[in-house]
Amino acid sequence: MMKYSKMFLYEMKMTLREREVIFWMLIFPIALMLILGFVFGGSGDIRITIGVVDLDDSALSRRIVEALESIEAIEVKTGSEDEERAELKDDDRNALIIIEEGFGEEVMQGGMGEITMIVNRSDVTTAQVTENTVRGIINEIGREMVRMQEGGEEREAISLNVEEEEDIEDFEYVDFMVPGVLAITIMFAGLMGFNEEVAVRREKGILRRVKVSPVSLPVFLAAGMTMVVIEALIQAVLLLAVGYLVFSIKVNGNYLYMAIVTVIGTLSFVSLGFMISSLAKNSKSATLAGSAVSMPMMFLSGVFFSVAWVPAALGVIARMLPLYYFGDALREVMINAASLADVWLDLVVLIAFGLICFGIAVKFFRWE
């Protein structure tokens, strides 16, 4: 324990002496969050999947279904109410539209036919785009329907009721973004920081001196990884504090669960960085390899946007990257108040990935 304490103190002193570390640890994540929060606003083109339940089965209700099916950006799925609600719950629908019984008759009599819309809010940004898009389309269909039937007169023919299955707060894009910034920051801290640090110490002969000391490899690694985990937790607290003060972000999740997910993700990326440093010939190649791994993950893992927005091929690639699972776990816990059991797949992937990388790193580790 004494050896571990000394190594940990050494790691902490080395970290605090390097100004670059302070920048990447504290200033960079805050600057990234502020820039994205103020600048990133375009939702881009998106294809949404909507379940439609026609309880009325009238000429007018069928006309609405046909109008929705004619829109290229919308994929319409029809079925019974129970089936479509189940698909919505399983995240296979972005929204569900229920055309209530008596809709056509009410419209024909000059009243307002009722349509119920239920939006899948598991994905914050997609939910906002879906609700606004569907609301606008339904209202326009109603007005066009009236113009065709009543000789150009304008009136509201559809009453759109938004049903909430659960009491969920309305989240903004910045709430979606903060877990992504945190995930990327931790990825860089573990992947680039620990990777380069081990490679540089090997070149300077520091690892050679550690090898002949009473400190074993497990103790050396445990001390370094502990420091990175502490840095990650500090970053998480700092980002949440700044996000709350500047953007009034909402966090529904359990803070202990958030800390556990953060620790697991950090150790996973530290293991990846350790593997790269073990395989790399020198610090320069370790840095280049780390950049080659981290930059694609940063832009392809869906941490700043929904994977549903990208082409199918990129979606497959995103789901092959550990950052996708880390960002998803953080987002589910922070925004949707998920438990650890709810994100078990994300955690299993991160733990398995970390263990594989760590095993490879230990096998090929070189003191000098």
Given a contact cutoff of 8 angstroms between Cβ atoms, the answer to whether 252 and 170 are in contact is no
Given a contact cutoff of 8 angstroms between Cβ atoms, the answer to whether 62 and 103 are in contact is no
Q: Where are the alpha helices (DSSP H) in the chain?
A: 2-17, 19-22, 28-39, 59-69, 81-89, 103-108, 124-149, 173-188, 194-203, 206-211, 217-247, 255-279, 283-300, 312-318, 322-335, 344-364
- Put the strands of the sheet holding 48-54 in their side by side order: 74-78, 48-54, 95-99, 113-119, 158-162
pTM, entire model: 0.64
Listing DSSP states for 179-235 in one string gives HHHHHHHHHHIIIIIHHHHHHHHHHTTHHHHHHTSS--HHHHHHHHHHHHHHHHHHH
Beta partners for 285? Answer: none
Tell which residue, 107, 135, 115, has the closest CA to residue 54: 115
Q: pLDDT 10s digit of each residue in the chain, 368 long? A: 777 777 777 767 666 665 555 555 566 566 656 655 554 444 445 568 889 999 988 888 888 888 888 887 788 898 888 888 888 877 788 888 898 888 888 878 878 888 888 887 766 667 767 777 777 778 777 777 766 665 556 667 788 888 765 544 555 666 777 888 888 888 887 777 667 777 777 777 777 787 777 777 777 777 777 887 888 888 888 888 887 887 777 777 888 999 899 999 989 998 898 888 888 777 767 777 777 777 778 877 777 766 665 666 667 777 888 999 998 898 888 877 788 998 999 999 999 999 999 889 888 877 77
The pLDDT tens digits for 277-324 are: 888 777 767 777 777 777 778 877 777 766 665 666 667 777 888 999
Q: Which domains does the chain have, with CATH numbers?
A: 2-41+172-364 (no CATH), 48-162 (3.40.1710.10)
Given a contact cutoff of 8 angstroms between Cβ atoms, the answer to whether 190 and 266 are in contact is yes
The pLDDT tens digits for 219-258 are: 777 777 788 788 888 888 888 888 788 777 777 788 899 9
